[in-house]
Amino acid sequence: MGSQSIRESFRLLLAKCLIRFKRLKYVDYSVDDISQLIQPHLPVSLPISVPRGEGRFTLSKANITMPVNSNYIQAEVLGGIEVTYIANPIYRAHVVLVVQAIPQYNSTTKKILLTHIRVTDIHMLNDEYSILKDTSSLINHFVPSPVLSMVTGTMRTAFSIMTGTTASEASSYLQVYLSGSKQKVLDYHKPQIESIIVGLAAGDDMQYSLDMNDFEENLFIQYGQKVIVEQGHLRFKF
């Protein structure tokens, strides 16, 4: 048996004794440890549904916290939403989302996963990145002039000609832009954004598989009981 194996065996024996005699009760992981696991997965860009147009929502940065006296991990996420028609942007904004989730250890799969995921806040940043095209500009951009000259109906009709959507879809989306409010456009897309965030947080990429070749993680695989947030740390309890 090599010297490395002897050292590892001794560490494991010592850890077993500490756990048995309640001297080793948990191992803590910090905010920085969790951030290092998340950052490689950012930025990520996913499509959002737009009537006859194209939309994308991009997550670029995440600031992780574990508030003291709480049982959840919180992420303040910077993202961006962009809506285009025929490669012309009609809406663009930076948004900040606050997401909370409770960690859970699955002893069968040996994975740490996130449960009870919820988006507690979504708000827009009023910066130079944001744009909102009014409806008349939108129609002028996307309906060819000969067609536009024949349009004598309402703006709703013009929008239907432009997008090829049904009257109800066109009317619903058009009314949002007629308001002139960037926030109202964001509100329209909030359910989709929330669904994207929850789906990402619950997905395989956000599940952490414990490594049997890592001493502390292998120790937890053998003797660990649960994973919780406690005193501002992600705590692996024996």
CB atoms within 10 A of CB 159: 27
CA distance 194 to 197: 5
Pair 51, 140 in one domain: no
- pLDDT confidence bin for 15, thresholds 50/70/90: low
CATH code of the domain in which 122 resides: 3.15.10.40
pLDDT digits (tens, 9 = 90+) for 180-231: 888 888 998 999 999 998 988 888 878 889 888 877 788 788 888 899 999 9
- The structure tokens listed for 222 are 């053998």
Specify the pairing of strand 233-237 against strand 208-209: unpaired
Q: Which of 147, 162, 179 is the last residue of a domain?
A: 179
Between the CA of residue 158 and those of 74, 87, 145, what are the distances in Å? 45, 19, 12
What is the rounded distance in angstroms from the CA atom of residue 21 to the CA atom of residue 127? 57
Regarding whether 143 and 128 lie in a shared domain, the answer is no
145 and 195 fall within a common domain: no
pLDDT digits (tens, 9 = 90+) for 41-85: 889 999 998 877 789 999 999 999 999 889 999 999 999 999 887
Structural domain boundaries enclosing 199: 3-134+180-237
Instruction: Give Cα 169 distance to the centre of its chain.
Output: 27
31: three-class secondary structure by DSSP: helix
pTM of the model: 0.74
Based on the structure, what is the number of domains in the chain? Answer: 2
Mean pLDDT of all residues belonging to the chain: 78
4 or 34, which is more confident = 34
Give the residue, 100 or 222, on which the prediction is more confident.
100
149 has pLDDT over 80: no
Same domain, 121 and 157: no
Shared-domain flag, residues 166 and 207: no
7-17 in b/e form (b: 16+ CB < 10 A) is: eeeeeeeebee
- Count other Cβ atoms within 10 Å, centred on residue 108: 6
Regarding whether 175 and 65 lie in a shared domain, the answer is no
Mean pLDDT calculated for residue range 104-125? 92
Same domain flag for 94 and 159: no
Query: Tokens 């077993």 identify what position?
Result: 16
Across the range 111-115, mean pLDDT stands at: 92
Are residues 195 and 123 part of one domain?
Answer: yes
In this structure, the answer to whether residues 115 and 193 fall within a common structural domain is yes
Q: Which of 138, 141, 133 is nearest to 155 (CA)?
A: 138
Q: What is the pLDDT of residue 26?
A: 81
Same domain, 175 and 187: no
pLDDT tens per residue, range 163-179: 455 545 655 676 677 77
Cα(first)–Cα(last) distance of the chain, in Å?
A: 29
Does 171 lie in the same domain as 198?
no
Both 160 and 221 in one domain: the answer is no
